[in-house]
Amino acid sequence: MPHRKSTRSDRTTPPTIVIATRNLHKLEEIRAIFSDLPVRILSLADFPEIGEVAETGQSFAENALQKARTVFQHTGLLTLADDSGLEVDALGGAPGIYSARFAGPGRSTAENNRKLLSLLKTTPREERTARFRCAVALVGPHLETVVEGVVEGHIAPAPRGEAGFGYDPLFVPQGYTRTFAELGSEVKNRISHRARAFQKARKILHRYLEQEGR
């Protein structure tokens, strides 16, 4: 039987939620978004026995829900899981759910970025439109829902900036001239697809905790 931890504690102890990720960059972004909520945040690094969670869904929402259900079943704790990626119009929506392994399993972020730029080499600026999409699933006692956040933009002709991770050096959000990697975490955490999805999740979480008497 999986080890399940109690979701209840005395009112002086903040409720615990699990963010279903081992990605430290992503965890930092989410902690910043939830910084004003009285919750204790754990990640998959706190549950090494869970191992890798398979992502076999056909959409970001399906993958996020799959991860959140699996982690909740193992921990008994309210779990938030996300799946996100880049959709490039000129590539028919690719890399999409394969964003993290676009250049192949085990390939680096730099290799993913190089492949993307190579495929768009002859694509003019006006056709390099793209968006980041993020789905966040919340699963816990009496709760199962998914929300999405999207930010539109375009793909730069070359990597720019040192902040962020993934495709951030290539993605210029709509209304800006700099990439996510140039804008830095303060701006990105306010306007990104993940920020928008987790802000929606934050509202649901706040209502849920109130209803549960927390």
Q: Establish whether 83 is a catalytic residue.
A: yes
Condensed to tens digits (0 to 9), the pLDDT of residues 150-183 reads 999 999 999 999 988 899 999 999 999 999 999 9
Q: Which long-range contacts (CB under 8 A, 24 or more apart) does 47-56 make?
A: 47/18, 47/71, 47/74, 47/75, 49/3, 49/74, 50/74, 50/75, 53/20, 55/83, 55/97
Range of the domain at 85: 16-211
Condensed to tens digits (0 to 9), the pLDDT of residues 30-83 reads 888 888 888 999 999 999 999 888 888 999 999 999 999 999 999 999 999 999
Condensed to tens digits (0 to 9), the pLDDT of residues 3-29 reads 444 444 445 678 899 999 988 888 888
Kind of pairing, strands 78-88 and 16-19?
Answer: parallel
Active-site residue identified among 36, 82, 83, 89: 83
- Give domain status of residue 153, yes or no: yes
- Give domain status of residue 4, yes or no: no
- Kindly state the average pLDDT of the residues 210-214: 72
Condensed to tens digits (0 to 9), the pLDDT of residues 95-119 reads 999 999 999 988 899 999 999 999 9
Domain count, the chain: 1
- Give domain status of residue 5, yes or no: no
Task: Tally the residues of the chain.
Answer: 214
* Residues 143, 166: Cα–Cα separation, whole Å: 31
- Give domain status of residue 1, yes or no: no
Residue 7 corresponds to which tokens in the numbers above?
A: 């979701």
pTM value is 0.86
- Give domain status of residue 8, yes or no: no
- Give domain status of residue 25, yes or no: yes
CATH of the domain at 131: 3.90.950.10
Condensed to tens digits (0 to 9), the pLDDT of residues 112-142 reads 999 999 999 999 999 999 999 999 999 999 8
